[in-house]
Structure formats: structure tokens, C-alpha cells
Amino acid sequence: MATDEAVPTLEMPPASQAIELNDRLPTIDASDIEPHFRAVAARAGERRGIRLERIYWEGLRRISTESGMTTADIVQRAATQVPESANLASLLRVISFKWALRRLTQLEEKTSLNNLNAIVQASPAPTIVMTRERKILLFNEPFLSMLRNRFSLGEVQQLARGLKFLIDTHVDEALDTFERNQGTIIKTSFTVSLNLQSMRGKINIAPAPSHEKSMLIGYVSGF
């Protein structure tokens, strides 16, 4: 039976943690940088020929879907704002990119480590967040109470000494499963051991809602 072991640092997590960023650049091919020409007709019948890279047309399409405006409406509104020193295509690129940055900022705010910690602390069940490196990054008070009651220890420092947490599923395999099948959960078992004492239990794991790095969130369902 495959197991992954986590060595917890049993201190209540701070409000913020260092962010690990993936700095790899995306792969770019020739079609991504080649401008594509489109003739866009406004409601009044005026037609404009616009050349934009494919990614900016995709950005305008998403803006159109979100706002309920047509691409032609967006182009027409941008045309009324274009300064004398710029051109319409440049302004449309800026509009598309600023919209993408705004959406990214909103997503990062919703999936920050602070918000993930709030989800963990709000859970009535013993809950943990485990990193790909098999470290317990976040946990809540019910998780601590479960350990205290099982091992009859009061101090967090006592619990941390020699405590091992193992799940019966490899973390990497679980994360790969979630990437292939979004919206799924994995029901598995865990073992907590301290010195010569141990306990078994059931845990439901899912991808942690965080943009900072790939992690698992686990909810203890029985022991």
C-alpha cells in the first residue's frame, strides 16, 4: 500500500506565508505572434480593419462575454478614446491586457493563502493542507483537538515531537488525478503515530483552492 508521510509543524499558521512562484515562461509559437486581420462593423455600419495578435482577439472575446457587449461595441467605444499619439490597435491591446490583469488580481485575492487558511479554520472537521513536499502547511483547532484527545497530550510542542502523519495515497498521484479529473475528491485513509502510539482514520482529500502552489486539503471523516 502506497503511503505519503507528512511531518507536521504543529504551530497555528500565521496569516501569511512566503509565496513560491513558478517563473517559467509559456511556450510561444509563430501563430501566437502573427497579427490576424479582422473587419469589424459598428452598429452604425462603419467598418474598421484591425490587426491584432490572436491572444488579444481572445481577450476581447472574453471581455465581450463578460460585459454583454459585442466585439464591435468594444472597438467602437475604444475608438472614441484613442489619443492622437496612439492608434486603435494599440489601445485594444492595452484594454485586453488590463482586463486580464484585473481578472488575475481578483483570482489571486480569492485563492490567497490567507483565504485558504480561513477555509481551514472555518471547517468544523479536523482539516489540514498538505504541500506536494508532504508537509502539513495549515491545520485547524479540531485537528489539534483530535491529536490531543488520542495521545493525551496538552502542549502543541509535545505533539510535534516525533509525530508522523501518513496518507495511503501518494500526494503527487493525487494532484495528477485532480488535474485530469476536475471536481473529484479522493477518499483514503491516514495514520498518525507518536512514539509507540498510533491511530487510523478516514480522510477526504481535494485540491486546495490556492494559486500559490499545488496543495491538498484534507477533511478527516472518521477515526
Cell of 223: 477515526
Q: Is 85 exposed, middle or buried (0-12, 13-18, 19+ CB in 10 A)?
A: exposed
pLDDT at 204 over 80: yes
pLDDT band at 3 (very low <50, low <70, confident <90, very high): low
How confident is the model over 137-141, as a mean pLDDT? 93
Residues 100, 98: Cα–Cα separation, whole Å: 5
Cell of 153: 497530550
What does pTM read for this prediction?
0.74
**Tens digits of residue pLDDT in 150-159:** 887 655 665 6
**Tens digits of residue pLDDT in 87-133:** 899 999 999 999 999 999 999 999 999 999 999 999 999 999 999 88
> Under a CB-based contact definition with an 8 Å cutoff, are residues 159 and 150 in contact?
no
Cell of 36: 490576424
**Owner of C-alpha cell 474598421:** 48
**Owner of C-alpha cell 515531537:** 161
**Tens digits of residue pLDDT in 12-63:** 444 444 444 445 677 888 888 889 999 888 776 778 889 999 999 999 999 9
